[in-house]
Amino acid sequence: MLTARSLSEAFKENLEAEKGKVILTQYSDIDEKGLYGDLWLIATTNFIEVYKQKGPEEYSLRISVSMDEVLDISHQNLVGCGVLQATTKNDMVLLLQYSNSYSRDFNYVARALNKLIKLDENERSDFAFHHIEDTSKSYCQKCGRIIPEWSESCPACIDKGAILKRLLAYAWPFKGKLILLTVMMLLGTALDLVPPYLSGVILIDKVLGERPLNAWQMLIWVVIGLFAAQFLSTLIAVVRGRMAAWLSASLVYELRKKSYEALQRLSLSYYDKRQTGSIMSRLVHDVNRLNNFLIEGLQYFLVQVLLLIGIGAILFSINAKLAFLVIIPAPIAVLLSYKFWKYIWKLFSSFWHRNSKMTAVLNDSLSGVRVIKAFAQEDKEIERFDNRSRDLYQASVQAEQTWATLYPWLSFVLTLGSLFVYLIGGRDVLLGVATVGQLVTFMNYIWRFYGPLQFLSRITDWLTRSLTSAERVFEILDAQPDVVDLPNPIRMPHIKGEVEFNNVTFGYDEHEPVLQNISFKIEEGEMLGVVGHSGAGKSTIINLVCRFYDPNEGEITIDGNNIKEIAQQDIRGQVGMVLQDTFLFNGTIADNIAYAKTDATMEEIIRAAKIANAHDYITTFPNGYDTFVGERGTRLSGGERQRIAIARAILHDPRILILDEATSSVDTETEQKIQQAIDRLVVNRTTIAIAHRLSTLRNADKLIVIEEGKIVEAGSPSELIKRKGYYYELVMAQEIDSGKNGEVANVNEQLA
């Protein structure tokens, strides 16, 4: 297999001389036998051809189709591969196959070829094919590695210094208190250096060794000095601890606030690609780790450095020869720490990534516990969680065992100096060159010296954990929404409600369009019914009207203005929604009804509930409107939740009303009552209604029928019934089903 990626220029020139200008070329990695091979799709002004590449300059023609004979080009994603097909005037031609990694490329090729076949030869010569790059994978511009899905930046090339600098900027507003904390920590540390000297040189040598006449008084003063040092150290620790607690809470609050604000500004596409548990992990665990780093860690780091310098100076003042023996192992320990830095960084990055995945699975299972139990899938969910937990376990073991292996050896190397001190210092005491008090004092300071040195040798672990968390939090703060307002958007505080789609094509994954070339118009105050099978693209139309996403092609206008030019707040502030999957917040019934109008009076809330036929059942609860609905409204039935959502939309009083299966969760009797309320609600209001129960669309001014992302029929309900097309078949199928259940007498007559 050649794994070629560029077409021979000599071959291309010969081809153009024979068959016209080459307009586009696309490589495929699967040959005509379904095996890995090197094929090229080449489109000229006159032909669409497929060549197999046998060598650097050797190509053999496999398929040739005249451009004028082609009616349509289509691509399909199958299991493990995709195919590109040409529909000609006489036959269907399989042009080539390709692996799924080229699916996006051939989607663009198919769309370009469909444009080409509609042009004449001269127009084709002027056609410019701009190949859109594959955005399904992100590549590091520096090293070329694929950036993991869980990261916004390349873990291998991340600038640790830049992260640290940016992280320190978040502590800058608290610089005054941080300096005060550091000063208190330094004072406490200085006081901790007093006891070794008092108990060693003074107590052992001066008091107990020399035993002067005032030895008893000196002993009392030594004890008083030790007590004073410990008391002041404890007092400083209490004050510093209380201040640190306030600073810690304040910094966590600011970081979480900024992160949550960033999440609220992001588009829905950001959440489409990430699991909820992973995002929650960043706002909880990672922010806490950053707090510990900024409040305690940085101060502790500074103190340890100064302590190392201070104790080192004391050691040299006591005995320079022994002090040199102490610091000999230090460079070796620092070198070992440096060598392990990059490796440990990768291990902990993997650990936190797997921790997020496990948290995401846990969130899914807890949120869907009713579904799990309803389908008896407890064992499956246990296995799914166990798999993620095992991945985390393996990453944790690998990271911790690596450090558990490194750290003891670092400690061993560092403590080698104390063995030399015992040997040389003990010899000096025996020879009378040094005193016992000096040796005891020196040894006490050695162990205090090794503490900071061991901390600094473990700084790789500390920085790795902290900067990994910082990177994950900054990914949220740096993420950019896909849907953004223009610098000076059009402000529309009073929307009339005219909505128009002009040749709109859209896909959540761009190479797989959900809507294709959709066009329709809703006049102000009209009701549009959207009909189609599940997955046809009905709900996607709603997402585009609310501008949760922007179309890939075409435009959407509201009152004649392109929706991209209107301020998002003005659009969504005047759109009301009642969705099939009703979501209620964990609060009271009154809070949920008034969610879109927080200043609503109780009278307004009750009025909306009455219109939605919810007031009667709400008043049966002991706490009435103050009843808590539970997480996601689990304390209410499906029909009760649906009516709360309808009341919420009624109170919002939108200019554009969206009903997505608004009556799907209620019984027939309640449906009739709610339908009456909806009939009153839609008066003089633009409404887009999606419904499987076609009887709920009997008052629609227009209907569009969506099949596989395309509008196959449009017109009034009565017009579509008379055509006896797609809509008529849907009505007939539903009438038969309804007749079996005795729920609807004759849907056909009702709609006609």
Domain boundary among 418, 452, 478: 478
Under the banding of pLDDT at 50, 70 and 90, the label for residue 374 is low
| Whether residue 327 is found in the same domain as residue 439 | yes
Is pLDDT above 90 for 418? no
pLDDT of residue 150: 47
What pLDDT shows up at residue 501? Answer: 94
Q: Provide the b/e sequence for 413-424 (b: ≥16 CB within 10 Å).
A: bbbebbeebeee
Is residue 86 in some structural domain? yes
Q: Does residue 512 sit in helix, strand or coil?
A: strand
369 lies in the same domain as 420: yes
Residue 109 lies in a domain: yes
Count how many domains the chain has: 2
The CATH number assigned to the domain holding 340 equals: 1.20.1560.10
What's the mean pLDDT in 556-562? 93
Phi, psi of 553 (to 5 degrees): -140, 160
pLDDT tier at 723, thresholds 50, 70, 90? confident
pLDDT of residue 133: 42
CA–CA separation, 259 vs 266, rounded Å? Answer: 11
pLDDT per position as a tens digit, 307-325: 788 888 888 887 888 888 7
* pLDDT tens-digit readout, 623-647: 899 888 877 677 787 778 878 888 8
359 and 472 share a domain? yes
- When pLDDT is cut at 50, 70 and 90, the band that residue 741 belongs to is very low
Q: Is residue 253 part of a domain?
A: yes
Task: Answer yes or no: do 87 and 233 share one domain.
Answer: no
Same-domain pairing of 100 and 244? no
- Nearest-Å Rg of the Cα atoms of the chain is 37
119 falls within a domain: yes
Are 76 and 214 contained in the same domain?
no
Residues 307 and 246 in one domain: yes
Residue 633 lies in a domain: no
pLDDT at res. 539:
86
Q: What is the CATH number of the domain that holds 86?
A: 2.30.29.30
Task: List the one residue out of 433, 446, 436, 432 whose CA is nearest residue 205.
Answer: 436
| Same domain as 202, residue 113 | no
Q: How far apart are CA 329 and CA 656, in angstroms?
A: 75
pLDDT at 371: 67
Q: Is the dihedral of CA 606, 611, 613, 614 positive or negative?
A: negative
CB 531 within 8 A of CB 697: yes
Condensed to tens digits (0 to 9), the pLDDT of residues 252-271 reads 788 888 888 888 888 877 77
- Please indicate, yes or no, if residue 179 is contained in any of the structural domains: yes
At 556, the pLDDT band (50, 70, 90 cuts) reads very high
Two structure tokens written together for 4: 């070629």
Condensed to tens digits (0 to 9), the pLDDT of residues 212-228 reads: 777 788 888 888 888 88
Q: Is residue 409 scored above 60 in pLDDT?
A: yes
The pLDDT tens digits of the residues spanning 155-166 come to: 556 666 777 777
Q: Which of 429, 446, 478 finishes a domain? A: 478
Query: What whole-number distance in Å separates Cα of residue 431 and Cα of residue 446?
Result: 22
Q: Inform me whether the pLDDT recorded for 27 exceeds 80.
A: yes
Tens-digit pLDDT profile for residues 158-192? 666 777 777 777 778 878 887 888 788 888 878 87
How much of the chain, in percent, has pLDDT values that exceed 70?
81
- Given a contact cutoff of 8 angstroms between Cβ atoms, the answer to whether 531 and 730 are in contact is yes
Whether the per-residue pLDDT at 126 is higher than 60: the answer is yes
Residues 120 and 177 in one domain: no
Tokens of 264: 């609220």
Domain ranges, residue 389: 160-478
Per-state percent for the chain, helix, strand, coil, to nearest 5: 60, 15, 25
Q: pTM for the full model?
A: 0.60
In terms of domains, do 346 and 454 share one?
yes
Q: Give residue 458's pLDDT.
A: 62
**Residue of 495, 493, 499, 492 lying closest to 687 (CA atoms):** 499
Torsion angles phi and psi, residue 79, rounded to 5: -75, 110
In whole angstroms, give the CA distance from residue 512 to residue 239: 61
Contact 470, 163 (CB under 8 A): yes
Same domain, 230 and 346: yes
Q: State the average pLDDT for the chain.
A: 78
Angstrom distance (rounded) from CA 575 to CA 656: 5
Task: Please check the confidence at residue 750 and state whether its pLDDT lies above 50.
Answer: no
pLDDT band at 79 (very low <50, low <70, confident <90, very high): low
Least confident among 245-259, 418-432, 447-461, 518-532: 447-461
* pLDDT recorded at residue 134: 42
Residues 307 and 407 reside in one and the same domain: yes
Is 4 inside any structural domain? no
- Residue 224 — left, alpha, or beta (φ > 0 → left; ψ -120 to 50 → alpha)? alpha
Q: Is residue 317 part of a domain?
A: yes
